[in-house]
Structure 1
Amino acid sequence: MTVSRAALSTILACALIGCGGGGSSAPPISGGASPTPTPTPTPTTSACSLRAQQDFADSVLNEWYLFPDLLANANPASFSALQDYLDARVAPARAQNRDRFFTFATSIAEENALINSGASAGFGIRLFYDTSNNRVFVTEAFEAGNGFAAGLDRGSEITAIGTSTANLQSVATLMASGGPQAVVNALGPSTAGTARILRFVQPDGATIERSITKTEFALDPISNRYGTQVLDDGGKRVGYLNLRTFIIADAATQLRQAFGQFAAQGVTELIIDLRYNGGGLINVADTMGDLMGSGRVGQVWSRTVLRPSKAAENETRLFQSEANAIAPTRIAFITTNASASASELVVNAMIPYLGDNMALIGGNTFGKPVGQFGFDLETCDLRVRAVTLQTVNANDEGEYFSGLAGVVPNTCRAPDDISRPLGDPREASISVALDFLAGRSCMAIGQSGTGDTASSGANASQRSTSMIDLPETEALRPTRPSPAQIDIPGLF
């Protein structure tokens, strides 16, 4: 069995050991050094039986799991699926909110395709649902997907789903009969060629009914439509960056291009929009830190900490030189409960350097200061992602299992206003972010008040006249998500 950190570290809302077939490694999710695992025997013809996979998972957990005292005993014979067995073994950690389905089994081939090229199959849209009224909305559309080509975009509401016009079922009926999972089932598997009839209502009230086929498409980490902008806020230049995911390796290149634009225009104040960013590669998070680290080269960016028996693998990551780096003076991070893992790492790592000059805008984050290594059983196309590490900032702070709202010095409550495009200064969260950067007051996340409007500054209403009270939303998520759906909340 061999393991290497590889150039790709991942921090999933959200590393590895390879064995069999020569062995290989998967990038660590959420940090980690280069583990040297204990060798295991060459797989036999029964290497891919459920029991063999369970034994492999046990060897991983027993040697590497971050919380060894929170592992439960479980009888392998009592389970018919590897994931159920993993869930049982880490149940005590889950009960303490330290492993909320962060330990899981996945496909080596599918995850590698996602990391290397952003490859995924689906409509290319993010779906979130209103937890009070059970309505399903598109919060974002990927430009290369068939959903966007068919007219689905931010603010579209899906009202009915079917395999033909004759068997359309309303979302209300599906929710009433089986909750969000019934909607997930109606949308069909994440495989190319799957077609569905979708009825949806556009923000302008128009109702559209279209047959849309799921295809293989490339996920673009930074949208060409709105991902990087320099906003004019009363004559002041504010850099706006919307990073969809850290999981795709090319995100580092796109970040360098984005910060090159900011540097060229003398931007020192930023809005970093991570509202749906579920995490991804740690080395991409590291690059993002470097791009905000002008003048800090050689100082501590973050630390990776493993269980005591693996302390030799702990690592301190320093700011490194980047040609397009800037020295931001103020940053507003837009987040929601879908912001996790690498997103939270970046926010937490900036606290020692910006303090009161940074804020969390929108809602509290998910709460995932831990990361995974990926352990590969190659002959079975099996990767076990196990929680193996925790990341902390330069002040050794990293206990934000309940989210970052209680950690970041300033927070400003704001709704995710899907009535406005992402990148629009009038969109509620962006408007409140601009207010923070301008020194205006706001309502703190978690503070009681009327609705979700967050800014009480005198000039806030000039930009936020269309701000609406939106209900609490959650990403629509299958019980057994694909690799892409793990890192990209709401992806279908």
Structure 2
Amino acid sequence: MKKLKVLLLTCLIGFSASSCFDDMDDNIVSSVEIKDFIWKSMNYVYLYKSEIPDLADDRFTSSSEYVDYLDSYSSPEDLFASLKYLPTEVDRFSGIYSNYYDLQNLLSGTTLSNGMEYNLYYVPGSQTEVFGVITLVLANSPAESLGLQRGQIFRAINGENLSINNYTTLLSATSYTLNFADYDDNGTTETTDDDTLSLSNVNASLTKVSYTENPVHKTEILTIGGSTVGYLMYNGFTSDFDNQLNAAFGEFNAAGISDLIVDLRYNGGGSVQTAAYLGSMVTGQFTGQVYSKLFYNENLANNDTDYLFTNTINGGGSINSVNLSRVYVLTSERGTASASELLINSLKPYIEVVVIGENTVGKTQASRTVYDSPTLFSDTEANPSHTYALQPLIANSTNVDEELVPSTGMVPDILISESATNLGILGDVNEPLLAEALAHISGSGRSVNQPEAAALKTVKLPISALEQDMHID
């Protein structure tokens, strides 16, 4: 991979940055200095620079005009927001962070978490009351230590029933007590025939802790007919765990798998390089060929990069490749994004990729952390007067044929959604999405284990930019 060149950020508008601040007292410098860092960084690296008039190189004719412009924004966050291109349609993903240490932790997989992930649904017959269903219990987390299970239903927090108005406050607390419930479907698969929920008098008290997730959540070796099938639930392209990912493929190699199912339904993305490693592990017969491409804006065009299929991990030895010509990928509408979509898009020109699940998010852009330092992309010389950093979109990712992931997402070959009342056990042959893949592998047609005909209405939970991130290491 070609590394980004070291860049010395200059004012780019015909006047010295220092001249803007020579006569200001220290307090004003602190505020304007951060905004100056934001504008200059976005002017130089932002993927959609040409679409934002305020980022034009000739936008300002004098230092005083520039300072007045910066001063017109009440905060660094407001300035940054004004520079994003179509933030509700195109750039939903660029972010600004007041403490880059927190950002670094997030990118390495460390968050404040109790280890329980969930979906929320409207109570049947209500437009305001909601309930939760646990979708994932993370390994070695507080939730796992309490014995929580995927598929458990909770109706209240601290004795207060969940609603569309209070769930954010209740579930964002550091500590809370889950109040579980039983779901009565009246013996039918329909959800509109007076299905009911009732509290079960079972509770669990959870506290969030600093938690680092190993994204290799689960591996299984399954024997289906005459096929040995590998199953991998992979929840984040986190470069700190590349060796653990490679070890999973060592297990698949040792088992001699003939088919592979990669479960990305809860994988919002991560490292572009890790995505290239995973593509190389799935295959192995294309070493040295182009896996994906990155295209930057006009300022950084010299840094356009080809990622290659490879047989080694940087500093980690040889890649365990399974040399397959077909792979199955499980997806979801909310959870499968960016680097997950990159994997699908980049493998499709080379092998058969069978996508099972829901339409994916539709994110094709990559970001990188930008610091207030001479080299932009390194924190070692960052301005000591503040800890702001940016995570802007700086490049578009394509496959070898220069095809982008559609902004509307990738359409599955087999459409199937998770059922709130029949989630199944991850890695179990009867879990609905896995069963669908196994039915396709065995040639037995559609799985008989299908979700309910009338699905429960899902609450659209807010998603942070980093939950659907694809970044350049």
Q: Which band: TM-score by shorter chain?
A: 0.7 to 0.9
Three-state SS of the structure 1 residue aligned to 2:418 is coil
Give, as a single letter, the amino acid of the residue that structure 2 aligns with 1:200: F
Distance (whole Å) between structure 1 residues aligned to residue 269 and residue 5 of structure 2? 20
Counterpart residue number, 1:348: 345
Question: Is the radius of gyration larger for structure 1 or structure 2?
Answer: 2
Match 2:252 to one of 262, 269, 278: 262
Counterpart residue number, 1:222: 216
Match 2:425 to one of 421, 424, 427: 421
Matched, 1:430 2:434: yes
1:119-140 CA distance string (max 9 Å, x none): 2212111122226853322210
Q: 1:77, CA displacement in angstroms?
A: 5.0
Match runs of 1:184-333 below 5 Å: 184-189=168-173, 194-201=174-181, 206-223=200-217, 227-246=218-237, 248-321=238-311, 322-333=318-329
Structure 2, unmatched stretches of 5+, are 12-16, 56-68, 125-129, 185-198, 312-317, 373-381
Distance (whole Å) between structure 1 residues aligned to residue 355 and residue 363 of structure 2? 16
Match 1:370 to one of 350, 365, 374: 365
Distance (whole Å) between structure 2 residues aligned to residue 47 and residue 434 of structure 1? 63
Distance change in 2, residues 1:72/1:142 (3 Å)? farther
Q: Which has the higher contact order (CA 8 A, sep 6+)?
A: 1
Q: Which moved more, 1:56-65 or 1:107-116?
A: 107-116
Distance (whole Å) between structure 2 residues aligned to residue 34 and residue 171 of structure 1? 51
Q: 1:142, CA displacement in angstroms?
A: 0.9
Counterpart residue number, 1:360: 355
Q: 1:143, CA displacement in angstroms?
A: 2.0
Matched, 1:55 2:47: no
Match runs of 1:45-194 below 5 Å: 45-46=26-27, 49-71=30-52, 73=54, 76-77=70-71, 79-90=73-84, 92-94=85-87, 97-105=89-97, 107-116=99-108, 118-130=109-121, 134-162=130-158, 168-172=159-163, 175=164, 178=165, 182-189=166-173, 194=174
Q: TM-score, normalised by structure 1?
A: 0.75
Q: In the alignment, is the contact (CA less than 8 A) between 1:103 and 1:384 conserved in 2?
A: yes
Matched, 1:36 2:7: yes
Give, as a single letter, the amino acid of the residue that structure 2 aligns with 1:239: G
Q: 1:64, CA displacement in angstroms?
A: 1.1
Q: 1:298, CA displacement in angstroms?
A: 0.9
RMSD of aligned alpha carbons: 3.0
1:21-77 CA distance string (max 9 Å, x none): xxxxxxxxxxx8445242576999548844432221111111111112322549655
Q: Give the fraction of aligned pairs with identical amino acids, expressed as a percent.
A: 24
Three-state SS of the structure 1 residue aligned to 2:368 is strand
Q: 1:84, CA displacement in angstroms?
A: 3.8
Give, as a single letter, the amino acid of the residue that structure 2 aligns with 1:414: I
Distance (whole Å) between structure 1 residues aligned to residue 10 and residue 221 of structure 2? 52
1:81-131 CA distance string (max 9 Å, x none): 4334322321x4335x32113344353212323444x32212111122226
Distance change in 2, residues 1:140/1:295 (3 Å)? same
Distance (whole Å) between structure 1 residues aligned to residue 409 and residue 468 of structure 2? 18
Matched, 1:477 2:462: yes
Q: Which moved more, 1:416-425 or 1:233-242?
A: 416-425
Match 2:413 to one of 398, 411, 425: 411
Distance (whole Å) between structure 2 residues aligned to residue 104 and residue 233 of structure 1? 48
Three-state SS of the structure 2 residue aligned to 1:135 is strand
Distance (whole Å) between structure 1 residues aligned to residue 363 and residue 137 of structure 2? 25
Matched residue pairs, number? 408
Q: TM-score, normalised by structure 2?
A: 0.78
Q: 1:438, CA displacement in angstroms?
A: 3.4
Structure 1, unmatched stretches of 5+, are 7-31, 163-167, 442-454
